[in-house]
Structure 1
Amino acid sequence: MFDIQHFSQINPPHRLLMGPGPINADPRVLRAMASQLIGQYDPVMTGYMNEVMVLYRELFRTQNRWTMLVDGTSRSGIEAILLSAIRPGDKVLVPVFGRFGHLLCEIARRCRAEVHTIEVPWGEVFTPDQIEDAIKTVKPRLLLTVQGDTSTTMLQPLEELGDICRRHGVLFYTDATASFGGNKLETDAWGLDAVSAGLQKCLGGPSGSSPITLSAQMEEVIRRRKCVEEGIRTTAHQDGDDEMIYSNYFDLGMVMDYWGPERLNHHTEATSMLFAARECARIILEEGLDVGIARHELHGRALVAGIQGMGLETFGNLQHKMNNVLGVAIPSAVHGEEVRKMLLEDFHIEIGTSFGPLQGKIWRIGTMGYNARKDCVLQTLTALEAVLNRLGFKSTQGAAMQAAWDVYAQESR
Structure 2
Amino acid sequence: MTKYKDLNVPHRTIMTPGPVEVDPRVLRAMATPILGQFDPAFTNIMNETMEMLRSLFQTENKWAYPIDGTSRSGIEAVLCSIITPGDRVLVPIFGRFGYLLTEICQRYGAEVTTLEAPWGEVFDPEVIINKIHEVSPKIVAIVHAETSTGCMQPLKEIGEACRNADVLLIVDAVASIGGVDLKVDELKLDAVIGGTQKCLSIPSGLAPITYNHRIEEILLKRKSIELGLRSFQSEPSNDRIISNYFDLAQLQDYWSPVRLNHHTEATSMQYALREGLRIVLEEGLENRFARHKLNERALVAGIKAMGLHLFGDEKHKLPVVTCIEVPNGIDSDEVRSMLLEDFEIEIASSFGPLHGKIWRIGTMGYSSRKKNILHVLAALEATLIRKGFNVNKGESVQAAMNVYDENKQQQNIETVVIGS
Match of 1:321 in 2: 317
Distance in 1 of aligned mates of 2:229 and 2:350: 44
Which of 232, 242, 258 in structure 2 is aligned with 1:262? 258
Shift of 1:225: 1.6
Shift of 1:338: 0.3
Task: Tell me if 1:79 matches 2:67.
Answer: no
Task: Tell me if 1:132 matches 2:115.
Answer: no
Match of 2:183 in 1: 186
Distance in 1 of aligned mates of 2:251 and 2:8: 35
For 1:25-174, list aligned pairs within 5 A: 25-174=22-171
> Which residues of structure 1 form unaligned runs of 5+?
235-240
Which of 401, 405, 410 in structure 1 is aligned with 2:406? 410
Distance in 1 of aligned mates of 2:330 and 2:304: 17
Match of 2:18 in 1: 21
Shift of 1:333: 2.1
Residues paired across the two proteins, number: 405
Match of 1:238 in 2: none
Taking only the aligned residue pairs, the percentage that are identical comes to 54
Distance in 2 of aligned mates of 1:232 and 1:326: 51
Query: Contact (CA 8 Å) 1:142, 1:171: kept in 2 or not?
Result: yes
Query: Contact (CA 8 Å) 2:66, 2:206: kept in 1 or not?
Result: yes
Query: Contact (CA 8 Å) 1:227, 1:233: kept in 2 or not?
Result: no
Which of 339, 344, 357 in structure 2 is aligned with 1:343? 339
Shift of 1:232: 11
Residues 1:390 and 1:227: Cα distance change in structure 2 (over 3 Å) = farther
Residues 1:319 and 1:230: Cα distance change in structure 2 (over 3 Å) = same
Query: Contact (CA 8 Å) 1:224, 1:242: kept in 2 or not?
Result: no
Which of 386, 392, 403 in structure 2 is aligned with 1:396? 392
Deviations 1:271-305 (A, max 9, x none): 11111111111001000011101100110111111
> Which residues of structure 2 form unaligned runs of 5+?
232-236, 410-420
SS at match of 2:89: strand
Distance in 2 of aligned mates of 1:363 and 1:189: 34
Distance in 2 of aligned mates of 1:155 and 1:343: 27
Match of 2:417 in 1: none
Deviations 1:22-66 (A, max 9, x none): 001000010111111000000010000000000000000001111
SS at match of 1:5: coil
SS at match of 1:160: helix
AA of the residue aligned to 2:136 = K
AA of the residue aligned to 2:254 = Y
| TM-score of the aligned structures, taking structure 1 as reference length | 0.95
Distance in 2 of aligned mates of 1:232 and 1:37: 38
Task: Tell me if 1:373 matches 2:361.
Answer: no
Match of 1:288 in 2: 284
Query: Contact (CA 8 Å) 2:81, 2:248: kept in 1 or not?
Result: yes
Deviations 1:177-203 (A, max 9, x none): 011111110111111110011111111
Match of 2:357 in 1: 361
Aligned alpha-carbon RMSD (Å): 1.7
Shift of 1:6: 2.4
Which of 289, 295, 299 in structure 2 is aligned with 1:299? 295
Distance in 1 of aligned mates of 2:323 and 2:76: 27
AA of the residue aligned to 1:97 = F
For 1:237-276, list aligned pairs within 5 A: 243-276=239-272
Shift of 1:9: 2.1
AA of the residue aligned to 2:128 = I
Shift of 1:228: 10
| TM-score of the aligned structures, taking structure 2 as reference length | 0.94
Query: Contact (CA 8 Å) 2:85, 2:238: kept in 1 or not?
Result: no
Query: Contact (CA 8 Å) 1:32, 1:279: kept in 2 or not?
Result: yes
Task: Tell me if 1:223 matches 2:200.
Answer: no
Distance in 1 of aligned mates of 2:194 and 2:126: 26
